[in-house]
Structure 1
Amino acid sequence: MQNQSRTFEISEIASWFGPYNVQVHDNPYPFYTYLLEQEPVRYLEWHNMWVVSRYEDVNRVLKDPLFVRENRNAMPQQQQEEQPPQSQNTPWEPVNNLLDNWMLLRDAPTHTRLRGLVSHSFTPRSMERLKQNIRSIAEHLAERMAEEEQPDLIQSFAFPLPVIVIAEMLGVPPEDREMFKEWSHTFARILEGGGDQTPDFAEQSIRAAVEITAYFRSLIAERKVSPREDMISDLLAAKEQTDALTEQELIATCVLLLVAGHETTVNLIGNTMLALLNHPEQYARLLENPTLIPSAVEEGLRYESPVQMTSRLASVDYELGGQTIRQGQVVQVMLGAANRDPAQFSNPNQFDIGRTPNRHLAFASGAHFCLGAPLARLEGEIALTAMLKHYPQMHLADAAPNWRHNVLFRGMGTMHVR
């Protein structure tokens, strides 16, 4: 059973934070139940890392500015001052030049400045302007699915929808979108960390960073000469501001928006549809009452969170759950576990599209609350509306979900339907 509680051996816990393991990761919920019930704040000696799973503790870590993203901000002041400059002459320089300029991985004031320059693109007014275009894209993709002999909801609908949307926002030509798929998947694996970093993958990562940097540098050069109505042109128009983005920051921000703007939304759409099709009574309920679509999206985010975890560093010694987290130690907060915490959600392992309240942490919280959450929600609602309209009798054709082999992001590689 999904909510069955059992004891996990040390070796099993260790394997959880290593490379993707089908037996361990395809169904993470028994492990989350174990953490929530028995070891909500657990220290892993071999990683010098803490694992935090309860909703209250996860929310606290995410909101407390004493937990930071940058290594140097977790060090004592004297140690920060003694740090040698970071060497740029390494094979990983193209990757580091992007990651070092991602707002996702920075603290204030840099994070605040980068986020502030981009945030206007995700306001309610901006979302309202995008709504009709997203509907048109979703309708076109849904209609095209009917022409396929064995429709794959991920490859034919859930993947292209957010890619087209974010590409249009950035100003990427339609003929270039297909290149983004591998680039985005590669950076999703880079974000996952050390579990699967083989020499081949290192080479792939560096090549992807070089290629995507060159691509956006060329696109930015075009927009400098011929501005259009897109995000890159808007950000370039602000170049006179004292806090304007440098070219490297602009390139890195475009890459981040591409990765974050589609990896999570593909999973949101696919995971929510999977849950609905695995719970036909909820699918029937939604068909009968489409006003529950926004609520169904929120429940999909909670029940099968697109991002399963994120990390912070303690900048001071910190007491949490009766444990002392030492300055500089990594804290891995388990979003997927927090969203199944019975202390916060009644019957947490039950999929209920009418659940209220539903204050899940799928988009994190605090200063790093997902900037693109309004866009992801809008795309999710429009996607469900299109699926219900075109395919009210949809059923799963696969015997079991084909989960992608990524520990950080939870989503399917394919999802065949009838």
Structure 2
Amino acid sequence: MQQPAFGKTDIASWFGTYSNRLHDDPYPFYDYLLEQEPVHYIEERWFWIVSRYEDVNRILKDPVFVREYRNAMPEGTEIPEPPPEWKPVNELLNNWMLLRDAPAHTRLRSLVSHAFTPRTMQRLKTGIQEIADYLADRMEEEGRPDLIASFAFTLPVIVIAELLGVPPEDRELFKDWSHVFAKVLEGSDQTPQFAEQTMKATSEITEYFRLLIAERRAAPREDMISDLLAAQEKSDALTEQEMIATCVLLLVAGHETTVNLIGNAVRLLLTQPDQHALLLERPELIASAIEEVLRYEGPVQTTSRIASADCEIGGKTIPRGQSVIVMLGAANRDPAQFNDPNRFDIARQPNRHLAFATGAHFCLGAPLARLEGEIAIRTLLNRFPHMRLAEDRADWRPNILFRGLQTLPVIV
């Protein structure tokens, strides 16, 4: 089959208007980037695109590349203020560890990291399995469920809600809030309508967690918010605004990515009969299969950094203060790093993919995402070994940053 032709205009349009042509199957485009434009500057949008594994890995690990614009520029540089309508959102995002550099990032991360230790994961295992079994029971009753709505969305939202201490009756509120902040992270929608939608979501979610924190302060329980409040005697403890922001970040990062991981894994297995059969025959490959899903159809396709000094990458100089979009999805298909990278192989070894990034910002929730993914896919395979797709065409969400399905109708 002849590969579609791409050019430099496609690179610019990739980060402009959403295009089904480029996003339904981005991998031929990634092949083009890797072969022809591994380091490319988009003048119209003032940032660089970097796609090769070696370069992406270096940028993510090199302290020269930072997250905060103020840390990239000389002291005294005037930092442009966000538009007034975006100020409440920026105040929230400025307390996300994901978007901070050391020492703030180190402090915020250390205060939350206990929730993702191996001991905590072991404690969560039974509960996640019970949730997966319950959702599988409901799927069986439906006969032809939408796997995203009935299972992939619901499982991680219950898990992250229980982790934070959100009451079951409030879980449905998370859906719209989470999708709004996923689009905020993507950064492509700058319309007044989306600004209004974002302001509303920011106000609602901030007030929600403010009230929940007040409840836990008065009556602590066994959840993360209570644990963070218990640590407030420490000099480096989270402020209330930081705690609210951290709860929002855990909601978005812990939910959006895992929904995509589960949905992408099921679709891959149902469209790759040989790999589906292999996993049924050798269930011990489940962990390896999840790693291959993360590499082959990663839930997060890009991240970004800012150069804090002139730096040469791939034979080109990236000047201080310019942004770099690192293409995780392309790096994970780089033939210089992975043998036969466009083949889905659940037994692939080694598999040092960058789906969770690397360096100081390696995904804090990676152990939880892996655990949920393994339990979800093992449960679905055991319960529905003959499950098949109800529709051939993939219904991808129109989002450049996150790669996941809006719906996935299946016959169980």
**TM-score category (smaller protein):** over 0.9
What is residue 310 of structure 1 aligned with on the other side?
Answer: 303
Q: Distance in 2 between matches of 1:180 and 1:295?
A: 31
Q: Distance in 1 between matches of 2:244 and 2:47?
A: 32
Q: In the alignment, residue 66 of structure 2 is paired with which amino acid?
A: V
What is residue 290 of structure 2 aligned with on the other side?
Answer: 297
What is residue 417 of structure 1 aligned with on the other side?
Answer: 410
- More displaced stretch, 142-151 vs 342-351: 142-151
Q: In the alignment, residue 68 of structure 2 is paired with which amino acid?
A: E
Q: Distance in 1 between matches of 2:47 and 2:6?
A: 18
- Secondary structure of 2:142's counterpart equals coil
Alpha carbons 2:300, 2:401 under 8 Å: kept:
yes
State how many pairs are aligned: 411
Q: Does 1:133 find its partner at 2:127? A: yes
Alpha carbons 1:299, 1:353 under 8 Å: kept:
yes
What is residue 351 of structure 1 aligned with on the other side?
Answer: 344
Q: 2:118 aligned to 121, 124, 133, which one? A: 124
Deviation, 1:91, is 2.2
Q: Does 1:52 find its partner at 2:50? A: yes
Q: In the alignment, residue 230 of structure 1 is paired with which amino acid?
A: D
What is residue 73 of structure 2 aligned with on the other side?
Answer: 75
Q: Does 1:321 find its partner at 2:314? A: yes
Alpha carbons 1:6, 1:34 under 8 Å: kept:
no
Q: Distance in 2 between matches of 1:292 and 1:143?
A: 24
TM-score (norm: length of structure 2): 0.98
Q: Distance in 1 between matches of 2:144 and 2:384?
A: 14
What is residue 268 of structure 2 aligned with on the other side?
Answer: 275
Deviation, 1:12, is 1.8
Alpha carbons 1:5, 1:34 under 8 Å: kept:
no
Q: In the alignment, residue 140 of structure 2 is paired with which amino acid?
A: A
> Structure 1 unaligned runs (5+)?
none
- Secondary structure of 1:13's counterpart equals helix
Q: 2:279 aligned to 268, 277, 286, which one? A: 286
Q: 1:365 aligned to 358, 374, 392, which one? A: 358
Q: Does 1:160 find its partner at 2:158? A: no
What is residue 213 of structure 1 aligned with on the other side?
Answer: 206
Q: Does 1:105 find its partner at 2:99? A: yes
Deviation, 1:83, is 4.7
What is residue 241 of structure 2 aligned with on the other side?
Answer: 248
- Secondary structure of 1:332's counterpart equals strand
Deviation, 1:78, is 3.8
Runs of 4+ in structure 1 deviating by more than 2 angstroms, as ranges, are: 4-7
Computed over aligned residues only, the root mean square deviation of the Cα atoms, in angstroms, reads 1.2
Q: Does 1:147 find its partner at 2:141? A: yes
Q: Distance in 2 between matches of 1:227 and 1:78?
A: 44
Q: In the alignment, residue 94 of structure 1 is paired with which amino acid?
A: P
- Secondary structure of 2:312's counterpart equals strand
Deviations 1:91-110 (A, max 9, x none): 22221121010000000000
CA gap of 1:263–1:243, structure 2 versus 1, over 3 A, is: same
Alpha carbons 2:396, 2:404 under 8 Å: kept:
yes
Q: Does 1:202 find its partner at 2:200? A: no
Q: In the alignment, residue 58 of structure 1 is paired with which amino acid?
A: V
TM-score (norm: length of structure 1): 0.96
Deviation, 1:196, is 2.2
Deviations 1:160-219 (A, max 9, x none): 0000000000000000000000000000000001x2222211110010000000000000
Q: Distance in 2 between matches of 1:22 and 1:149?
A: 30
Q: In the alignment, residue 121 of structure 1 is paired with which amino acid?
A: A
- Secondary structure of 1:146's counterpart equals helix
Deviation, 1:112, is 0.3
Alpha carbons 2:85, 2:195 under 8 Å: kept:
no
Deviation, 1:236, is 0.4
Q: Distance in 1 between matches of 2:353 and 2:8?
A: 29
- Percent of residue pairs bearing the same amino acid type: 69
Q: In the alignment, residue 380 of structure 2 is paired with which amino acid?
A: M
- More displaced stretch, 59-68 vs 90-99: 90-99
Q: 2:175 aligned to 178, 181, 196, which one? A: 181
- More displaced stretch, 284-293 vs 148-157: 148-157
Q: Distance in 2 between matches of 1:371 and 1:344?
A: 24
What is residue 327 of structure 2 aligned with on the other side?
Answer: 334
Deviations 1:228-276 (A, max 9, x none): 0000000000111010000000000000000000100000011111111
The 5 A counterparts of 1:395-410 are 395-410=388-403
